[in-house]
Amino acid sequence: MSAVQSPLSVRKLARHDVAATARLLAEAFADNPCYLFMHPRAATRARDLEAFFRRNLLWHLKLDLTWVAVQAGASADAGPELVLGTVTLIPPGGVPSSPLGLMAHWVWPTFWQQSAQHVQRMIATDNDFKRRYLEDTLGLPYWHVHAVAVAPQAQGRGVGTRLVRHVMKELEAQLRATPGPVVLSTQRERNLPFYRRLGFELTGSKQMGTQGGQAGYQSWFLRQTQLVQAPTLNPAPRAR
């Protein structure tokens, strides 16, 4: 029986899942234009992406708002579980941290392991997306559905749908305590029908990554409209 036909379960990310989940994310986003922009060294991109996602997962681990779709390993060599999908939910304000914490976790390791260019592009990208999300939420603090990824061998089998629906159900409880709009973005126009089926509406698109005269890449922005505690906002749709 193939891996994707075995029963799946969705649970919170544990520390022992981080390495496997980082590899999954690095593979899933290997051709994503946003991550190609942030990680320009083609020769080391696979390694750079895996290091980035490992830091990202560990950074958000303290929030306990990352989920993985897992199944029993097909063999003893595969380990007890296979990670086939993941998604992270980022609350308003992100991960609480000090400037020193940001430097220690993100800036210095990225600088020493990769390059100053990686640091610059990572910061510029983060700031660019935050500005765009605030435009979509009329300046309100927002919840961000981030890094939705499914392993290639599990794609087309409903894993992504199950993950995002699970997160939306958990988010309903979170919104009662901390209301706010819910946003996400994708660099693949083909993903729009998937997110629309899950209650997101397109608010527009924008050419991102144009710093320093770069050609950039297109990103589509969406906002959740079906959760009761998410504010109803109606900024005018933006032209593509």
Q: What is the pLDDT of residues 163-205, one digit of tens each?
A: 999 999 999 999 999 999 999 999 999 999 999 999 999 999 9
Biggest CA pair distance of the chain: 54
What is the C-alpha radius of gyration for the chain, rounded to an integer number of angstroms? 18
Asked whether the beta carbons of 92 and 143 are under 8 A apart, the reply is: yes
Contact 72, 80 (CB under 8 A): yes
Output the pLDDT for position 26: 97
201-219 mean pLDDT? 90
Q: Give the residue-averaged pLDDT of 103-115.
A: 94
User: What pTM value is reported for the model?
Assistant: 0.89
Mean pLDDT of 56-65: 97
Spell out the domains of the chain, with CATH numbers in brackets: 3-224 (3.40.630.30)
Spatial separation of the C-alpha atoms in residues 28 and 26, rounded to whole Å = 6
User: Which pLDDT does position 240 carry in this prediction?
Assistant: 45
pLDDT(229) > 80: no
Percent of the chain with pLDDT over 70: 90
Q: Are 60 and 122 in contact (CB under 8 A)?
A: no
Amino acid residing at 152? P
Q: What does pLDDT average to over the chain?
A: 90
For residues 54-59, give the mean pLDDT.
Answer: 98
Using CA atoms, how far apart are residues 74 and 81, in angstroms rounded to an integer? 8
Q: How many CB atoms lie within 10 A of CB 200?
A: 23
